[in-house]
Structure 1
Amino acid sequence: MRDRAALAQLPKAKPEDVKSQDAILKALYDVISGPAGTPRDWQRFRSLFYPGAQLIPLVKPPGATTVGARPITPDDYVTWGQESTATHGFFEKEIARQSHAFGALVQVMSTYEARGTQDGPLIAKGVNSIQLFNDGQRWWVMNIFWIDENTAGLKVPKDLTQK
Protein backbone atom coordinates (compact mmCIF):
# COMPACT_ATOMS: atom_id res chain seq x y z
CA MET A 1 0.00 0.00 0.00
CA ARG A 2 1.44 3.29 -1.14
CA ASP A 3 -0.21 5.25 1.70
CA ARG A 4 1.43 3.16 4.41
CA ALA A 5 4.89 3.60 2.91
CA ALA A 6 4.35 7.36 2.49
CA LEU A 7 2.96 7.67 6.02
CA ALA A 8 5.98 5.84 7.41
CA GLN A 9 8.26 8.48 5.86
CA LEU A 10 6.56 11.38 7.67
CA PRO A 11 7.89 12.84 10.91
CA LYS A 12 5.81 11.69 13.88
CA ALA A 13 3.26 14.32 14.88
CA LYS A 14 2.94 15.57 18.43
CA PRO A 15 -0.28 13.94 19.70
CA GLU A 16 -1.51 17.29 21.07
CA ASP A 17 -1.15 18.84 17.56
CA VAL A 18 -3.45 16.36 15.83
CA LYS A 19 -6.03 15.42 18.48
CA SER A 20 -8.73 17.81 17.22
CA GLN A 21 -9.60 20.26 14.48
CA ASP A 22 -8.77 23.16 16.80
CA ALA A 23 -5.43 21.60 17.72
CA ILE A 24 -4.22 21.01 14.16
CA LEU A 25 -5.23 24.53 13.07
CA LYS A 26 -3.49 26.05 16.10
CA ALA A 27 -0.36 24.00 15.32
CA LEU A 28 -0.47 25.05 11.67
CA TYR A 29 -0.51 28.78 12.48
CA ASP A 30 1.96 28.39 15.36
CA VAL A 31 4.63 26.49 13.42
CA ILE A 32 4.93 29.05 10.59
CA SER A 33 5.03 32.08 12.89
CA GLY A 34 8.07 33.64 14.50
CA PRO A 35 10.64 36.43 14.39
CA ALA A 36 13.23 36.88 11.65
CA GLY A 37 16.21 34.57 12.02
CA THR A 38 14.39 32.14 14.31
CA PRO A 39 14.27 28.67 12.76
CA ARG A 40 10.81 27.14 12.49
CA ASP A 41 10.14 23.52 13.41
CA TRP A 42 9.75 22.28 9.84
CA GLN A 43 9.53 18.63 10.93
CA ARG A 44 6.50 19.59 13.03
CA PHE A 45 5.08 21.41 9.98
CA ARG A 46 5.57 18.35 7.75
CA SER A 47 3.95 16.07 10.36
CA LEU A 48 0.61 17.87 9.96
CA PHE A 49 0.17 17.01 6.25
CA TYR A 50 -1.09 13.79 4.70
CA PRO A 51 1.11 12.43 1.86
CA GLY A 52 0.22 14.19 -1.40
CA ALA A 53 -1.17 17.26 0.36
CA GLN A 54 -0.84 20.60 -1.40
CA LEU A 55 -0.61 24.25 -0.50
CA ILE A 56 -2.13 26.44 -3.19
CA PRO A 57 -1.71 30.19 -3.06
CA LEU A 58 -3.72 32.25 -5.51
CA VAL A 59 -1.35 34.78 -7.04
CA LYS A 60 -1.49 37.69 -9.44
CA PRO A 61 1.95 38.27 -10.97
CA PRO A 62 2.98 41.89 -11.65
CA GLY A 63 1.35 43.09 -14.86
CA ALA A 64 -1.14 40.20 -14.96
CA THR A 65 -4.84 40.87 -15.28
CA THR A 66 -6.01 37.58 -13.81
CA VAL A 67 -5.36 35.52 -10.71
CA GLY A 68 -3.75 32.09 -11.04
CA ALA A 69 -3.04 29.14 -8.77
CA ARG A 70 0.47 27.99 -7.88
CA PRO A 71 0.26 24.54 -6.22
CA ILE A 72 3.23 23.56 -4.07
CA THR A 73 4.06 20.70 -1.73
CA PRO A 74 4.70 21.07 1.99
CA ASP A 75 8.41 20.51 1.20
CA ASP A 76 8.30 23.37 -1.34
CA TYR A 77 6.79 25.58 1.37
CA VAL A 78 9.56 24.56 3.79
CA THR A 79 12.23 25.54 1.24
CA TRP A 80 10.58 28.92 0.71
CA GLY A 81 9.99 29.36 4.44
CA GLN A 82 13.61 28.63 5.39
CA GLU A 83 14.80 31.32 2.99
CA SER A 84 12.16 33.88 3.88
CA THR A 85 12.23 33.54 7.67
CA ALA A 86 16.02 33.86 7.77
CA THR A 87 15.58 37.60 7.16
CA HIS A 88 11.87 38.32 7.67
CA GLY A 89 9.60 37.81 10.64
CA PHE A 90 6.18 36.36 9.99
CA PHE A 91 3.28 36.04 12.41
CA GLU A 92 0.01 34.68 11.04
CA LYS A 93 -3.02 34.24 13.26
CA GLU A 94 -6.56 33.12 12.73
CA ILE A 95 -9.15 35.83 13.40
CA ALA A 96 -12.32 33.97 12.39
CA ARG A 97 -13.37 30.51 11.26
CA GLN A 98 -16.26 28.76 9.57
CA SER A 99 -16.27 24.97 9.35
CA HIS A 100 -18.47 22.49 7.55
CA ALA A 101 -18.16 18.76 8.14
CA PHE A 102 -19.45 15.56 6.64
CA GLY A 103 -18.13 12.46 8.35
CA ALA A 104 -14.33 12.54 8.39
CA LEU A 105 -14.22 15.42 5.87
CA VAL A 106 -13.97 18.99 7.15
CA GLN A 107 -13.80 22.21 5.14
CA VAL A 108 -12.50 25.19 7.13
CA MET A 109 -12.62 28.79 5.95
CA SER A 110 -10.00 30.36 8.23
CA THR A 111 -9.63 34.13 8.01
CA TYR A 112 -6.13 35.26 8.92
CA GLU A 113 -4.02 38.32 9.53
CA ALA A 114 -0.26 38.34 8.99
CA ARG A 115 2.32 40.71 10.45
CA GLY A 116 6.10 40.98 10.25
CA THR A 117 6.36 41.23 14.04
CA GLN A 118 4.02 40.01 16.76
CA ASP A 119 2.32 43.41 17.18
CA GLY A 120 3.51 45.11 14.00
CA PRO A 121 1.45 46.58 11.20
CA LEU A 122 -0.73 44.30 9.11
CA ILE A 123 1.07 42.97 6.02
CA ALA A 124 -1.68 40.66 4.76
CA LYS A 125 -5.24 39.62 5.47
CA GLY A 126 -7.00 36.82 3.69
CA VAL A 127 -8.73 33.47 3.83
CA ASN A 128 -7.25 29.98 4.03
CA SER A 129 -9.52 27.26 2.69
CA ILE A 130 -8.25 24.25 4.62
CA GLN A 131 -9.36 20.69 4.00
CA LEU A 132 -8.92 18.37 6.97
CA PHE A 133 -9.73 14.74 7.56
CA ASN A 134 -9.64 12.31 10.42
CA ASP A 135 -8.45 8.78 9.74
CA GLY A 136 -9.79 7.49 13.06
CA GLN A 137 -6.42 8.03 14.74
CA ARG A 138 -5.67 11.71 14.19
CA TRP A 139 -6.41 14.84 12.11
CA TRP A 140 -4.55 15.58 8.86
CA VAL A 141 -4.24 18.60 6.58
CA MET A 142 -5.03 17.55 3.00
CA ASN A 143 -4.91 20.97 1.29
CA ILE A 144 -4.60 24.63 2.04
CA PHE A 145 -5.86 26.98 -0.68
CA TRP A 146 -5.58 30.71 0.04
CA ILE A 147 -5.92 34.24 -1.23
CA ASP A 148 -5.16 37.54 0.45
CA GLU A 149 -6.84 40.89 0.00
CA ASN A 150 -3.91 42.32 -1.97
CA THR A 151 -4.08 39.65 -4.67
CA ALA A 152 -6.94 41.16 -6.63
CA GLY A 153 -7.98 44.23 -4.70
CA LEU A 154 -10.34 42.14 -2.62
CA LYS A 155 -11.73 42.67 0.86
CA VAL A 156 -12.51 39.69 3.09
CA PRO A 157 -16.32 39.60 3.26
CA LYS A 158 -17.95 40.44 6.58
CA ASP A 159 -19.38 36.92 6.98
CA LEU A 160 -15.81 35.54 7.02
CA THR A 161 -14.59 37.96 9.69
CA GLN A 162 -17.09 37.04 12.40
CA LYS A 163 -16.31 34.30 14.89
Structure 2
Amino acid sequence: MKIVRRIACIGMLLGLALSVIANSHAADSPVMLQQASPVITTSPPARLSDVQTIDGIVAALYDVISGGVGQVRDWNRMRSLFIPEARIMAIGPKRDSKDLGLRILSLSDYIANSGPILVDTGFRERELSRKTEQWGELAQVFTTYETTRDANKSTQRGINSVQLMHDGTRWWIISLLFEAERIQLSLPDAYLVPVK
Protein backbone atom coordinates (compact mmCIF):
# COMPACT_ATOMS: atom_id res chain seq x y z
CA MET A 1 0.00 0.00 0.00
CA LYS A 2 2.85 2.43 0.86
CA ILE A 3 4.52 1.67 -2.48
CA VAL A 4 1.29 2.45 -4.37
CA ARG A 5 0.95 5.77 -2.51
CA ARG A 6 4.58 6.69 -3.28
CA ILE A 7 4.14 5.89 -6.98
CA ALA A 8 0.93 7.95 -7.08
CA CYS A 9 2.70 10.85 -5.32
CA ILE A 10 5.64 10.71 -7.74
CA GLY A 11 3.20 10.67 -10.66
CA MET A 12 1.40 13.74 -9.35
CA LEU A 13 4.68 15.61 -8.88
CA LEU A 14 5.84 14.76 -12.40
CA GLY A 15 2.49 15.89 -13.81
CA LEU A 16 2.70 19.17 -11.92
CA ALA A 17 6.28 19.78 -13.10
CA LEU A 18 5.32 19.13 -16.74
CA SER A 19 2.34 21.47 -16.39
CA VAL A 20 4.55 24.26 -15.01
CA ILE A 21 7.05 23.81 -17.86
CA ALA A 22 4.31 23.83 -20.49
CA ASN A 23 2.72 26.98 -19.07
CA SER A 24 5.97 28.89 -18.46
CA HIS A 25 6.40 29.87 -22.13
CA ALA A 26 5.13 33.19 -23.37
CA ALA A 27 2.61 32.81 -26.17
CA ASP A 28 4.66 34.96 -28.53
CA SER A 29 8.07 33.40 -27.88
CA PRO A 30 9.42 30.29 -29.62
CA VAL A 31 8.64 27.03 -27.86
CA MET A 32 11.77 25.60 -26.29
CA LEU A 33 12.32 22.69 -23.92
CA GLN A 34 13.69 24.05 -20.66
CA GLN A 35 13.45 23.72 -16.92
CA ALA A 36 10.75 25.71 -15.19
CA SER A 37 12.04 28.97 -13.76
CA PRO A 38 10.69 30.96 -10.81
CA VAL A 39 11.23 34.07 -12.96
CA ILE A 40 8.54 34.62 -15.58
CA THR A 41 9.66 36.65 -18.58
CA THR A 42 7.83 37.71 -21.68
CA SER A 43 8.84 39.66 -24.75
CA PRO A 44 7.00 42.91 -25.51
CA PRO A 45 5.04 42.90 -28.78
CA ALA A 46 7.30 43.62 -31.76
CA ARG A 47 6.75 45.98 -34.65
CA LEU A 48 5.94 43.81 -37.66
CA SER A 49 8.46 45.69 -39.82
CA ASP A 50 11.18 44.86 -37.26
CA VAL A 51 10.74 41.08 -37.27
CA GLN A 52 9.29 39.97 -40.61
CA THR A 53 12.65 39.87 -42.42
CA ILE A 54 16.34 39.50 -41.59
CA ASP A 55 16.92 42.98 -43.05
CA GLY A 56 14.23 44.37 -40.75
CA ILE A 57 15.50 42.82 -37.53
CA VAL A 58 19.15 43.77 -38.20
CA ALA A 59 18.13 47.35 -39.02
CA ALA A 60 16.01 47.48 -35.84
CA LEU A 61 18.93 46.23 -33.75
CA TYR A 62 21.19 49.04 -34.99
CA ASP A 63 18.42 51.62 -34.68
CA VAL A 64 17.41 50.78 -31.12
CA ILE A 65 20.89 51.11 -29.60
CA SER A 66 21.78 54.31 -31.50
CA GLY A 67 21.07 57.85 -30.39
CA GLY A 68 22.50 61.16 -29.30
CA VAL A 69 23.67 62.28 -25.86
CA GLY A 70 20.74 62.14 -23.45
CA GLN A 71 18.46 60.31 -25.89
CA VAL A 72 16.59 57.57 -24.02
CA ARG A 73 16.55 54.22 -25.85
CA ASP A 74 13.41 52.16 -26.43
CA TRP A 75 14.40 49.09 -24.39
CA ASN A 76 11.00 47.44 -24.87
CA ARG A 77 11.63 47.54 -28.61
CA MET A 78 15.03 45.94 -28.05
CA ARG A 79 13.52 43.23 -25.86
CA SER A 80 10.95 42.51 -28.59
CA LEU A 81 13.75 41.49 -30.99
CA PHE A 82 15.31 38.84 -28.71
CA ILE A 83 14.08 35.63 -27.14
CA PRO A 84 13.88 36.19 -23.36
CA GLU A 85 16.81 33.79 -22.75
CA ALA A 86 19.11 35.51 -25.29
CA ARG A 87 22.74 36.35 -24.55
CA ILE A 88 24.84 39.30 -25.68
CA MET A 89 28.53 38.46 -25.63
CA ALA A 90 31.73 40.40 -26.29
CA ILE A 91 35.23 39.16 -27.07
CA GLY A 92 38.00 41.53 -26.02
CA PRO A 93 41.20 42.04 -24.07
CA LYS A 94 40.91 41.56 -20.33
CA ARG A 95 41.63 44.55 -18.11
CA ASP A 96 45.33 44.86 -17.27
CA SER A 97 46.13 41.88 -19.48
CA LYS A 98 46.97 41.00 -23.08
CA ASP A 99 44.81 37.89 -22.81
CA LEU A 100 41.39 37.83 -24.40
CA GLY A 101 38.22 37.17 -22.49
CA LEU A 102 34.53 36.63 -23.15
CA ARG A 103 31.92 38.77 -21.43
CA ILE A 104 28.48 37.12 -21.31
CA LEU A 105 25.38 39.16 -20.50
CA SER A 106 21.67 38.53 -20.42
CA LEU A 107 19.58 41.12 -22.25
CA SER A 108 18.66 42.70 -18.90
CA ASP A 109 22.36 42.81 -17.90
CA TYR A 110 23.21 44.57 -21.17
CA ILE A 111 20.44 47.14 -20.73
CA ALA A 112 21.40 47.80 -17.08
CA ASN A 113 25.17 47.99 -17.69
CA SER A 114 25.49 49.47 -21.17
CA GLY A 115 22.26 51.46 -21.42
CA PRO A 116 23.42 54.43 -19.32
CA ILE A 117 26.75 54.54 -21.18
CA LEU A 118 24.99 54.65 -24.57
CA VAL A 119 22.85 57.58 -23.41
CA ASP A 120 25.72 59.45 -21.69
CA THR A 121 28.16 59.17 -24.62
CA GLY A 122 25.79 59.62 -27.54
CA PHE A 123 26.49 56.18 -28.98
CA ARG A 124 25.58 55.54 -32.62
CA GLU A 125 26.21 52.33 -34.53
CA ARG A 126 25.73 51.77 -38.25
CA GLU A 127 26.09 48.77 -40.50
CA LEU A 128 28.92 48.86 -43.05
CA SER A 129 28.70 45.38 -44.54
CA ARG A 130 26.85 42.10 -44.11
CA LYS A 131 27.29 38.41 -44.87
CA THR A 132 24.21 36.23 -44.27
CA GLU A 133 23.84 32.47 -44.31
CA GLN A 134 20.45 30.84 -43.97
CA TRP A 135 19.23 27.26 -43.89
CA GLY A 136 15.64 26.50 -43.01
CA GLU A 137 14.67 28.53 -39.97
CA LEU A 138 18.29 29.15 -38.96
CA ALA A 139 20.24 32.27 -39.93
CA GLN A 140 23.71 33.54 -39.11
CA VAL A 141 24.51 37.18 -39.89
CA PHE A 142 28.03 38.64 -39.82
CA THR A 143 27.36 42.37 -39.82
CA THR A 144 30.29 44.77 -39.82
CA TYR A 145 29.65 47.86 -37.72
CA GLU A 146 31.07 51.30 -37.11
CA THR A 147 30.35 53.03 -33.81
CA THR A 148 30.64 56.74 -33.13
CA ARG A 149 30.56 58.32 -29.69
CA ASP A 150 29.40 61.94 -29.74
CA ALA A 151 31.00 62.72 -26.37
CA ASN A 152 34.59 62.21 -27.53
CA LYS A 153 34.13 61.94 -31.34
CA SER A 154 35.74 58.49 -31.33
CA THR A 155 34.92 55.78 -33.86
CA GLN A 156 35.47 52.03 -33.80
CA ARG A 157 34.69 49.16 -36.13
CA GLY A 158 34.06 45.48 -35.57
CA ILE A 159 31.75 42.58 -36.33
CA ASN A 160 28.43 41.63 -34.77
CA SER A 161 27.71 37.92 -35.19
CA VAL A 162 23.94 37.54 -34.89
CA GLN A 163 22.24 34.14 -34.59
CA LEU A 164 18.56 34.10 -35.53
CA MET A 165 15.64 31.72 -35.86
CA HIS A 166 12.27 31.98 -37.59
CA ASP A 167 9.38 30.44 -35.66
CA GLY A 168 6.99 30.33 -38.63
CA THR A 169 5.69 33.82 -37.88
CA ARG A 170 8.68 36.07 -37.24
CA TRP A 171 12.46 36.27 -36.74
CA TRP A 172 14.03 36.19 -33.26
CA ILE A 173 17.59 37.03 -32.20
CA ILE A 174 18.89 34.06 -30.22
CA SER A 175 22.33 35.49 -29.42
CA LEU A 176 24.70 38.29 -30.35
CA LEU A 177 28.49 37.92 -30.19
CA PHE A 178 30.72 40.84 -31.14
CA GLU A 179 34.38 41.77 -31.36
CA ALA A 180 35.94 45.17 -32.10
CA GLU A 181 39.01 45.91 -34.18
CA ARG A 182 42.25 46.46 -32.31
CA ILE A 183 45.89 46.95 -33.29
CA GLN A 184 46.48 43.22 -33.70
CA LEU A 185 43.15 42.59 -35.46
CA SER A 186 42.05 44.54 -38.53
CA LEU A 187 38.93 43.95 -40.56
CA PRO A 188 39.70 42.27 -43.91
CA ASP A 189 38.28 43.70 -47.13
CA ALA A 190 35.83 40.77 -47.39
CA TYR A 191 33.95 42.17 -44.38
CA LEU A 192 33.83 45.72 -45.70
CA VAL A 193 31.78 45.15 -48.87
CA PRO A 194 28.87 47.62 -48.61
CA VAL A 195 25.35 46.33 -47.92
CA LYS A 196 23.25 46.32 -51.11
TM-score normalised to structure 2 length: 0.76
Mean Cα displacement is larger for which, 4-13 or 134-143?
4-13
Query: What is the CA deviation profile of residues 87-142 of structure 1, one whole-angstrom value per residue up to 9, with x for unaligned ones?
Result: 2111101100001111000000000000013xx85521000110011101101000
Q: Which residue of 2 aligns with 1:4?
A: 26
Match of 1:62 among 90, 95, 113: 95
- Aligned-residue identity in percent: 34
For 2:169, the aligned partner's letter is Q
Shift of the alpha carbon at 1:47? 0.6
In structure 2, what is the equivalent of residue 42 of structure 1?
A: 75
Higher CA-based Rg = 2
Paired residue secondary structure (2:116): helix
Q: Is the 8 A contact 1:113 1:122 kept in 2?
A: no
Q: Which of 50, 53, 62 lines up with 1:20 in the alignment?
A: 53
Provide the rounded CA distance (Å) in 2 between the counterparts of 1:133 and 1:112: 21
Out of 9-18 and 81-90, give the one that drifted further. 81-90
Higher relative contact order (CA 8 A, sep 6+): 1
Shift of 1:66: 1.6
Within the alignment, does 1:131 sit opposite 2:163 as a pair?
yes
Aligned partners of 1:97, 1:3: CA distance in 2, in Å?
32
Q: Distance in 2 between matches of 1:84 and 1:10?
A: 24
Unaligned segments of structure 2, at least 5 residues? 1-21, 30-40
Partner of 2:17 in structure 1?
A: none
Q: What's the CA shift string for 1:3-26, capped at 9, x where partnerless?
A: 336837211111111010000000
Identify which of 120, 124, 134 aligns with 1:101. 134
Distance 1:161 1:114 in 2: 14
Runs of 4+ in 1 over 3 A off after TM superposition: 2-8
2:149 to 89, 101, 116: 116
Q: Which runs of 5+ in 1 are unaligned?
A: none
Aligned residues: 160
Give the SS at the match of 2:25.
Answer: helix
The letter for the 2-side match of 1:63 is D
Corresponding letter in the other structure for 2:26 = R
Amino acid corresponding to residue 3 of structure 1 in structure 2: H
Root-mean-square deviation (CA, aligned residues, Å) is: 1.8
* 1:77 positional shift: 1.0
**SS at 2:58 equivalent:** helix
| 1:31 alignment counterpart | 64
In 2, Cα distance between equivalents of 1:146 and 1:123: 16
Give, in whole Å, the separation in 2 of the partners of 1:76 and 1:25: 21
Letter matched to residue 60 of structure 2: A
Deviates more, 1:80-89 or 1:101-110: 80-89
